[in-house]
Structures are given as C-alpha cells and as structure tokens.
Amino acid sequence: MPALISPSILSADFAALGPAVRDIDKAGADMIHIDVMDGHYVPNLTIGPMVVKALRPHSDKPFDVHLMISPADPYIPAFIDAGADIISIHPDAGPHLHRSLQSIKDAGVKAGIVLNPGTPVEVVDPVIDLLDMILVMSVNPGYGGQSFIPSQLDKIKLLREKIDATGRDIILEVDGGVNPETAKDCLAAGATSLVAGSAVFNGAGDYAENIAALRGGASSAPAAKVA
C-alpha cells in the first residue's frame, strides 16, 4: 500500500495558505500537516486555531495537527472546534499524558503522540491503546528545512514492532528532513506516513510530482483513505 503523504504547510507561502492547501489536496496529498508552535516549547511561533478554522473549507482531507506547545491541554478543544481530525501532542507538554489523549479521543478526534529525537520509544507503552498515530521527529522540532537524523530509523523499527504487536492500525508517521531519498529508508523501517515540507513546496517539479517522488515514484493518486 502506498505511503500516506502529509505535506507540511509550514513550508508553504503564508500569504496564500488557502490556495496552497487546495493545490496539495488536488496534487494527491492524503492529509494536511499543520505545525503549531508556541515560541515556548519550541523556538518558533506559527499559527493558532483561527488559522486552522480558516483553512478548513479549503480541503476535505484530514487535518493532521501537530501541537508543539506547552501546556497543550488548554488549547486542545479550540483545535478540535477549528476542524482538526488528528491531534498529536508531546508527552512532556502536560502533566497527565493519558488524560490529554483521552480528552482528544472523547471528542471524537484521532489522538497521536510525538517522539522527539531524544524521547525513548518506551514512552508509548502505557498509552498505546489510546493512540491512532505515533509521530517520530527525525529532526529536533521547531524549524523546517533541517537535515534528517539517521539514528531515528532504529526508533521507527522498534515502534513498528510495538504497533504490530497490538494488531491495531496505528499510523507511524515521520517528520523532519523527509525527501525522496530519506523517505525510502523511513518506509523500509516501517513508517506508513510521511510529513514533508520543503520536499513538496520547495522542490523541483510540481506538487503532484513531488508527492509521487516521496512515494517512490509511484502514481500521485492518494493512498488508502485515512479512516
């Protein structure tokens, strides 16, 4: 099955985000990745729920919202109301990870956990029954355009084993330095979803070609629809 591709609008033209979302939707994106940064948990400041709400009419594809904010709990309802379909949080972004994930699930939204390069895989064990997505950061979060950290491939492999042991269809997503070359390594390690910013928006060719290249040169038709 082709990999899910979730282009990160962090690399899009912020003066034309609506058209950018429409364009990547038409080009074969499976999800729209939205990086939310607070200038506190990470050294950058991006967008909030009002922008997510404004973008919602531009695509029916799932909004894959990555909260790089701390504390996350007070803002989760606002992003749900704005139209997020998947909300991923960092385990150290609040005092009670299980409660935070449960609040997302209780609202009918898919829940994810994010592992930074220095976060051990064991952090998923107590909450894996609540997870719809595990997002592996293959760069340190906070900025786009960073280089892929190869050591994260071993983490992806270990997480693949944990997911397979559950028998559940948990998305294993990778974000950071993903391009057609590193994408092959991520997929070989067991990833099922790829986040790419620069490789989609700044690479040579059009969006459809860039998305197809991330899938290994396969058709730019979307992969299986996210349930």
Task: Judge whether 136 lies within some domain.
Answer: yes
Per-residue pLDDT band for 7 (boundaries 50, 70, 90) equals: very high
Which pLDDT value is given to residue 115? 98
**How far apart are the C-alpha atoms of 26 and 212, rounded to whole Å?**
13
Pick the range with the lowest mean pLDDT from 105-114, 178-187, 203-212. 203-212
**How far apart are the C-alpha atoms of 188 and 5, rounded to whole Å?**
15
Query: Which CATH number goes with the domain that contains 126?
Result: 3.20.20.70
**How far apart are the C-alpha atoms of 173 and 3, rounded to whole Å?**
10
Cis check: omega of the bond before 57, within 30 degrees of 0: no
Q: What is the DSSP string of 143-176?
A: -SSPPP-TTHHHHHHHHHHHHHHHTS--EEEEES
CB 199 within 8 A of CB 179: yes
Total number of domains constituting the chain: 1
Task: Judge whether 90 lies within some domain.
Answer: yes
**How far apart are the C-alpha atoms of 84 and 133, rounded to whole Å?**
14
Task: Judge whether 207 lies within some domain.
Answer: yes
Residue type, 179: N
**How far apart are the C-alpha atoms of 92 and 119, rounded to whole Å?**
10
The two most distant CA atoms of the chain are separated, in Å, by 45
Give catalytic status of residue 132 as yes or no: no
Q: Residue 100: enclosing H or E segment and its boundaries?
A: helix 97-106
Task: Judge whether 99 lies within some domain.
Answer: yes
Give catalytic status of residue 35 as yes or no: yes
Among residues 35, 38, 85, 132, the one annotated as catalytic is 35
The predicted model gives 172-193 an average pLDDT of 96
Q: List, for residues 37-86, the tens digit of each pLDDT value.
A: 999 999 999 999 999 999 999 999 999 999 999 999 999 999 999 999 99
Which pLDDT value is given to residue 142? 81
Phi and psi (nearest 5°) for 214? -65, -30
Which pLDDT value is given to residue 141? 86
**Does the pLDDT at position 218 exceed 90?**
no
The predicted model gives 121-146 an average pLDDT of 93
Domain with 109 in it: 4-214
Task: Judge whether 226 lies within some domain.
Answer: no
Per-residue pLDDT band for 35 (boundaries 50, 70, 90) equals: very high
